[in-house]
Chain A
């Protein structure tokens, strides 16, 4: 009996420390700034434990039953703490920090109640001095065991959600064991047993479905069913489906929706390429989804397409996954397409001999300084060197409506390297009003002149649209802007502040 209780002390202490660490690790994972997260979570937890041990003196009757109940509560709360926090974060149901610290406080109080109760349960059995030293040494041993196991084995092998559930199960095991020891001394043994077993089933179910839980959490983030997800060294790629709508997200940012991507990609390719019937050689920078390539391959005069994308996983997914192949009409399997896995800036810089008749620049938006480099004058100067004399390039460049200053900054930057720019815009429902810049050495008027016809099948773009495309209504018309250079990268800040106002 005595030994049994001491073992439970060991387990209880392990679990107590484990929940503290899990909450701290989970919050620093989700919120960043690990040092602050660790120290605030640990601080709140210790405070709550103090509250718990103070509260323990109010528990006077039916000690064994209370202990079992507390164990069950700790087990369930602690066990689901990691997955619960993730879900809460993803669904942003309530302010995440309120949930986080509420949970930490609750678990802390319950854990703080445990040890004083054990001591009092044992009081009759052992002399008080021995009792204290034995209980405390088992307590410390348990904590030590976790402190070693947690970072070395549990967190890396099982992941956070399962680690928490495992400790929850341990708490329940202690509860069940205590039940077998005390079942004759408690008033409602059946109810207690049902409580223990029910929670054990719940936790086991959670353990089996831990992957589903994380999945569910991501679903909350993406709303729709996730049909593909992959984490690469560069980004998290997620493809979702809702009815017949497929969406691609990179790091949580929507890249396209299959419902209206034709608008985006037709507008990206045809205004440039339809006017270059002599074009043979095309490059696509970024755009590993193969959708721009699909549009380009419609032109029989195009003999080669060089696709330069950073992430081999992107091009592999869009080459191999059946739904995605259907979307890009197998464009990445075309013998005309050469896929180069490289950083586009670096590649242009190190391959001065490669020149093209038409270049599609389809990079992610300038959301950080690394991506911001791809929107600087140095980049456009390189781009210019890779265009043949009559060649043209098209640059996707954020929304002239939501990020008006940013859009015109890109236009100004392109012009600063001696290229002429003909900006235009299109409504893509899932993005809003979207902007493109057609550039070349021809005059602006010549760049913006409509082709006699679009010689390939399109759903959206027709020559009649030209005047509307190239006219900017007053709310998105040109504003004075400065050149975006590597040494100032003003676009990144501007982009962020303009979009923050839109999303808010």
Chain B
């Protein structure tokens, strides 16, 4: 090493430390997530046998968006003889949220696109909650402004700089930008496209999409191969498509099907009379706001800390063995109808004598693991002169997706303390291996990964973070891999719900999003009301 090298090296470390002031210790925080031991006990059936029997006309197992929506629909239609059992201490599932002195923040789901006319139930709910003003069936309803994502909605950290919007531009060669324009053109074509059955190629809920075989054929190739088949090779275009698949499905674009990938880009065509195209609805606590409003509506019927560990049928009626975590004992419920609103991968363990076809299909569902970190900051990071802080702040070519700024929707001018929700889909390795690593990792190693991913974009972050809480989602989202969405297993299970046991979960759509979860919940509730 000569003097110049030495100066270069100290210069470089100083560049890091001048901004970072000698790598400060990791912020304090907690590792959160579902109780793994309970999960295993649930699966191997080693729960205490029931010591009491109870009866209820309708039982809903699982209090995520699907279960809560089933309850909401029952109640909305004048039926209130039901109970909703949720295993965790709080309902909400993947739409749960947290809160501290600085802000409320999401633990997973964080936004809802403006729903199109097809998402009828989503619009009805939004109207009930005052999010839509006036007629919810109008082509372009009016929305309450404070729930529309404020500008600037998105920015991207790319090649050392924040740029506006998610389309990679800063430092991207013009040849790649030209490919981007072609990609946009293709997407515009698919958005408008209808199948031979007259239905839209990609609708939300997905069950209303066209069944035209030419369109369904897209499910048999990956999003990556679809791009290649259109001679789209630009790394920026691939990053973008891959980002979309990771963001919405926790799946990389070599595994996600082109049908699912295109669904993300094409299905969200909802419009508002008072919002720009493609604006989304969001709240500081993300979709936790919707989950909480739903819970308020059916609160007297919810029982938390109730794990349903075995279900079955008996003479046309259903039963469920339920573990009461607080009392460490089990109760057997008898019900006319049971709606299973838990994830499908659990079904074979819980419904052990389900028809063979059901068990077989349920085993074909794979789920992506996710890591979410909520970082509390004593102040907003300093601006680097690039694009201003946005709601969704995405990292180009990074292991994580980026972060959501929880105080973005605040009305005040002042930018004070805030919470960043960092998102990372563990999509680069097979889910089971990634999941095992995630669950085995300790706080320090995970927090270090989170900080390492964010610090290049915000050199002053280590000084600002006062807390970093991490949630590990082992089975977060169903994966719409090639052939899955329009494959036999999913279609089988989506229509397997027959009295007395009905099924409701976003898994049944193969796409983990609010509208799908809600649709499946409402469908199950309608079956109950039809006495079907």
Query: Is chain B found bound to chain A in the same assembly?
Result: yes
**Are B21 and A151 neighbours in the complex by a CB distance under 8 Å?**
yes
Shortest CB distance B438–A (Å) = 31
Contact of A485 among B153, B275, B384, B412 (CB under 8 A): B275
Q: Within 8 Å CB of A492, what residues of B?
A: 151
**Are A20 and B412 neighbours in the complex by a CB distance under 8 Å?**
no
**Are B276 and A147 neighbours in the complex by a CB distance under 8 Å?**
no
A17 vs B414: C-alpha distance when bound (angstroms): 38
Shortest CB distance B427–A (Å) = 28
The residues in B between 434 and 483 inclusive whose CB is less than 8 angstroms from any CB of A are: 459
Query: Would you list the 9 A-B pairs with minimal beta carbon distance, nearest first?
Result: A32-B385, A343-B412, A489-B151, A486-B150, A345-B411, A487-B148, A42-B11, A346-B412, A378-B145
By size class, the interface of chain A is 35 or more
A234 vs B412: C-alpha distance when bound (angstroms): 12
**Are A21 and B18 neighbours in the complex by a CB distance under 8 Å?**
yes
**Are B459 and A150 neighbours in the complex by a CB distance under 8 Å?**
no
Number of residues of chain B lying within 8 A (CB) of chain A: 43
Shortest CB distance A20–B (Å) = 6
B300 in the interface (beta carbon within 8 A): no
A34 in the interface (beta carbon within 8 A): yes
A381 vs B274: C-alpha distance when bound (angstroms): 14
Q: Within 8 Å CB of B412, what residues of A?
A: 343, 345-346
**Are A32 and B383 neighbours in the complex by a CB distance under 8 Å?**
yes
Which of A167-175, A177-185, A363-371, A429-437 contacts the other chain? Answer: A363-371
**Are A151 and B14 neighbours in the complex by a CB distance under 8 Å?**
yes
**Are A343 and B7 neighbours in the complex by a CB distance under 8 Å?**
no
**Are A310 and B414 neighbours in the complex by a CB distance under 8 Å?**
yes
A346 vs B276: C-alpha distance when bound (angstroms): 24
Nearest opposing residue in chain A for B380, CB measure: A370
B55 in the interface (beta carbon within 8 A): no
Shortest CB distance B103–A (Å) = 13
- Looking at B274, B413, B459, which has the most chain A CB atoms within 10 Å of its CB? B413
The residues in A between 4 and 34 inclusive whose CB is less than 8 angstroms from any CB of B are: 13, 16-17, 20-21, 24-25, 31-34
A38 in the interface (beta carbon within 8 A): yes
A487 and B6 contact, Cβ closer than 8 Å, known pairs A151-B17, A368-B388, A378-B145: no
Nearest opposing residue in chain A for B5, CB measure: A46
A115 vs B385: C-alpha distance when bound (angstroms): 38
The residues in B between 346 and 371 inclusive whose CB is less than 8 angstroms from any CB of A are: none
Contact of B4 among A46, A144, A374 (CB under 8 A): A46
B15 in the interface (beta carbon within 8 A): yes
Nearest opposing residue in chain A for B18, CB measure: A151
B13 in the interface (beta carbon within 8 A): yes
**Are B10 and A34 neighbours in the complex by a CB distance under 8 Å?**
no
Which of A135-143, A290-298, A465-473 contacts the other chain? Answer: A135-143
Nearest opposing residue in chain A for B149, CB measure: A487
A39 in the interface (beta carbon within 8 A): yes
**Are A34 and B11 neighbours in the complex by a CB distance under 8 Å?**
no
A378 vs B12: C-alpha distance when bound (angstroms): 47
Q: Within 8 Å CB of B415, what residues of A?
A: 370
B102 in the interface (beta carbon within 8 A): no
**Are B21 and A34 neighbours in the complex by a CB distance under 8 Å?**
no
Contact of B10 among A147, A155, A374, A379 (CB under 8 A): A147
**Are B8 and A343 neighbours in the complex by a CB distance under 8 Å?**
no
A485 and B274 contact, Cβ closer than 8 Å, known pairs A17-B10, A144-B10: yes
Shortest CB distance A252–B (Å) = 16
1/0 per position for B151-174, CB-CB distance to A under 8 A?
111000000110000000000000
A46 and B7 contact, Cβ closer than 8 Å, known pairs A33-B386, A487-B150, A489-B150: yes
Shortest CB distance B224–A (Å) = 32
A283 vs B96: C-alpha distance when bound (angstroms): 41
A60 in the interface (beta carbon within 8 A): no
Q: Count contacts between A and B, CB distance < 8 Å.
A: 133
Can you list 17 A-B contacts (CB < 8 A)?
A25-B18, A33-B384, A36-B160, A38-B18, A49-B3, A49-B7, A136-B2, A151-B14, A152-B21, A343-B411, A345-B412, A373-B150, A373-B411, A485-B148, A486-B145, A487-B275, A487-B276
A344 vs B412: C-alpha distance when bound (angstroms): 7
Q: Within 8 Å CB of A452, what residues of B?
A: none
**Are B150 and A38 neighbours in the complex by a CB distance under 8 Å?**
no
**Are A485 and B145 neighbours in the complex by a CB distance under 8 Å?**
yes
A163 in the interface (beta carbon within 8 A): no
A35 in the interface (beta carbon within 8 A): yes
B432 in the interface (beta carbon within 8 A): no
**Are B413 and A486 neighbours in the complex by a CB distance under 8 Å?**
no
A344 vs B413: C-alpha distance when bound (angstroms): 8
A50 in the interface (beta carbon within 8 A): yes
A349 in the interface (beta carbon within 8 A): yes
List 9 extra interface pairs beyond A21-B14, A345-B412, A373-B413, CB under 8 A. Answer: A24-B11, A46-B11, A139-B6, A343-B413, A370-B415, A485-B145, A486-B151, A487-B148, A488-B151
**Are B15 and A42 neighbours in the complex by a CB distance under 8 Å?**
yes
1/0 per position for A312-350, CB-CB distance to B under 8 A?
000000000000000000000000000000011110010
A34 vs B373: C-alpha distance when bound (angstroms): 26
B325 in the interface (beta carbon within 8 A): no
**Are A488 and B15 neighbours in the complex by a CB distance under 8 Å?**
no
Q: Within 8 Å CB of B34, what residues of A?
A: none
A150 vs B22: C-alpha distance when bound (angstroms): 12
